[in-house]
Amino acid sequence: MATVEHITGERLLKVEETAVIIGAAVGTLNRARVFGGNFPAYVKRGKSVRYKLSTVLKWMEDQEEHNTTSEIDAKKTA
């Protein structure tokens, strides 16, 4: 049987796999889908939730990097 990955070449990740890759809890991803948040977009296939690997990697690349927590505080007050 052909899978989406075989047809499109796009790897679809389970919620648990995505959580490990981005360093977030599964519950955090689940809540973000309900309430919103700055997390990768997802794909719904029936009752299953999947994340495209390319989307997750792009999301990680787009995240702002900081050297210290004081940088984050300075940006919040600016």
CATH number at residue 31: 1.10.1660
The number of domains in the chain is 1
Q: What is the mean pLDDT of each run of 10 residues along the chain (78 residues)?
A: 61 96 96 94 93 95 80 63
The beta-strand segments (E) located in 10-74 are 12-13, 43-45, 48-52
Which pLDDT belongs to residue 75?
A: 63
φ/ψ of residue 12, rounded to 5? -105, 125
- Beta-carbon count within 10 A of 15 CB: 17
Q: Which residues constitute the domain of residue 68? A: 4-77
pTM of the model: 0.74
The total of other beta-carbon atoms located within 10 Å of residue 17's CB is 16
